[in-house]
Amino acid sequence: MKEIFVTRPDLPPINDLLIHLQRIWSSGILTNGGPLHQELEHNLASYLKVPYVSLFCNGTMALATALKVLGIRGEVITTPFTFVATTEALTWNGLIPVYADTGTDSFNICPADIERKITSNTSAILGVHCYGFPCDTQAIKEIADNFNLAVLYDAAHAFGVSCDCESLLSHGDLSVLSFHATKVFNTFEGGAIVSHDISTKKRIDRIKNFGFINETTIGVAGINAKMSEINAAIGLAQLAHIESYIEKRKEVAQRYAVRLSCLKHVTMPSYDSVKSHNYSYFPLLINQSSPLSRDEIYSSLREFGIFSRRYFYPLIPEFTLYREFCDDISRDLPNAFFLSRKVLCLPLYSSLALEEVDYIADKLTIILSS
Ligand code: T4K
């Protein structure tokens, strides 16, 4: 039986990569903001339609650095329904995560609950565009303006998503991308901060390079979070194919939509709220009416070799390490708790054959009618 995983990475044709590797071998520059790094920053800014991109070794270090750059202190209001890295970036900075619930009709943080959680110690809001679906950026901006808070977006899932004519990454003070192997655009490991002015970009680039201003001066306590030339080479080779990767993902999502439309116990994601989506995930909501629980469906699919994932279960404050940050999860975060028990991410990646989507849909239909 063939195993189908929740995702498989895109890999550019190896000859595309070799051309870039040849440049590294010729220059002998392997890291520290070399020519490929600079070219990828430039090409990404142009592709994403954003002013400035600063590359990182991964998304988590980019998040941790973004918080440092903005000088965030005290409490940060964030979502519990995300990958653990979102909270880890806060605690690594000695910040306190304060969890606001998700909305009733969204995977993302609820503006009204953000407002309820603000205290005199709050300094920022850290939203996540979960599965690439936009946070309510307008409402979050209004709250942030009223209470003088910084806004950061963990946009690890939001590469290339645009709303109206704008990139989703143009919202907030800073947005952070992940280029991990499992992401729509990957450099094997990697990440980036999107910023809106040159002085902020310079501060970001300084912090990720030990805080050096020049050979003899350190301006700020920095860290080493640079992307190497080899990861930048992979990025340059990938970027040339990104449109076709996203188009193939879209075909997969559309096939699911057709094949699963007759199933009454599930709700499919709607991509209507955005001008262009990246189809990074296919989060299926298992309805209350379902005769089987989400976990039973997850286990049954595994018996057919289909490895869906329960992103994001458990909720972050359910991890023992983070329990102290929420008194009563089902009382305080009921919507996020519901999502963590009801969402199943089906396999979605550009090389997933439509016949495989049919196979998954057939098995799901059998499981739900048993
Ligand atoms: N913020 C958010 C909202 C995030 O989702 C993430 C990362 C971050 C921040 C942090 O960004 P990074 O620091 O990672 O750049 C995966 C990823 O490791 C993680 O990057 C991602 N989010 C998270 C949602 O998913 P796992 O534990 O589910 O990964 P894993 O290894 O089980 O991979 C899933 C499937 O992908 C495997 O079953 C097979 C396939 N796979 C995976 C890898 C690594 C491959 O085929 N090849 C591969 O090389 O966390």
The number of beta carbons lying within 10 Å of the beta carbon of residue 167 is 21
Task: Compute the distance between CA of residue 40 and CA of residue 17 in angstroms, rounded to an integer.
Answer: 13
Residue 60 CA: nearest ligand 1 atom is 13
Does the pLDDT at position 1 exceed 90?
A: no
What pLDDT is stored for residue 107 in this prediction? 97
For the chain, percent of residues with pLDDT exceeding 90: 96
- Between the CA of 116 and the centroid of ligand 1 the distance, in Å, is 32
SS3 category, 105:
coil
Q: What is the mean pLDDT of the chain?
A: 97
What pLDDT is stored for residue 81 in this prediction? 98
| Chain segment 179-238, per-residue pLDDT in tens | 999 999 999 999 999 999 999 999 999 999 999 999 999 999 999 999 999 999 999 999
The closest residue, in CA terms, to atom 41 on ligand 1 is: 8
Per-residue pLDDT band for 90 (boundaries 50, 70, 90) equals very high
Contacts of 299 (CB under 8 A, 6+ apart): none
Are 295 and 310 contacting, i.e. CB atoms less than 8 angstroms apart? yes
Tell me what the mean pLDDT of segment 164-185 comes to: 95
CA-nearest of 311, 316, 315, 312 to 87 is: 316
User: What spatial distance separates the first Cα and last Cα of the chain, rounded to whole Å?
Assistant: 21
SS3 category, 352:
coil
256 class by beta-carbon count within 10 Å (0-12 exposed, 13-18 middle, 19+ buried):
buried
Are 206 and 220 contacting, i.e. CB atoms less than 8 angstroms apart? yes
What pLDDT is stored for residue 274 in this prediction? 86
Task: Compute the distance between CA of residue 217 and CA of residue 211 in angstroms, rounded to an integer.
Answer: 8
- The ligand 1 site (C-beta within 6 Å) comprises 5-9, 58-60, 82-83, 85-86, 128, 154, 156-157, 178, 180-182, 191, 307, 309, 311
Where on the phi/psi map is residue 295: left (φ > 0), alpha (ψ -120 to 50), or beta? Answer: alpha
SS3 category, 56:
strand
Tokens 């080479």 found at: 233
Task: Compute the distance between CA of residue 251 and CA of residue 243 in angstroms, rounded to an integer.
Answer: 13
Task: Compute the distance between CA of residue 317 and CA of residue 314 in angstroms, rounded to an integer.
Answer: 8
Does the pLDDT at position 172 exceed 90?
A: yes
Residue 61 CA: nearest ligand 1 atom is 13
Are 231 and 189 contacting, i.e. CB atoms less than 8 angstroms apart? yes
What pLDDT is stored for residue 12 in this prediction? 96
| Chain segment 130-167, per-residue pLDDT in tens | 999 999 999 999 999 999 999 999 999 999 999 877 89
What pLDDT is stored for residue 2 in this prediction? 86
What pLDDT is stored for residue 272 in this prediction? 85
Per-residue pLDDT band for 370 (boundaries 50, 70, 90) equals confident
Residue type, 82: T
Instruction: Say what the pTM is.
Output: 0.98
Q: What is the largest CA-CA distance in the chain?
A: 70
Per-residue pLDDT band for 98 (boundaries 50, 70, 90) equals very high
Helix (H) or strand (E) holding 92: helix 85-92
- Half-sphere exposure of residue 148: CA atoms within 13 angstroms, side-chain side: 3
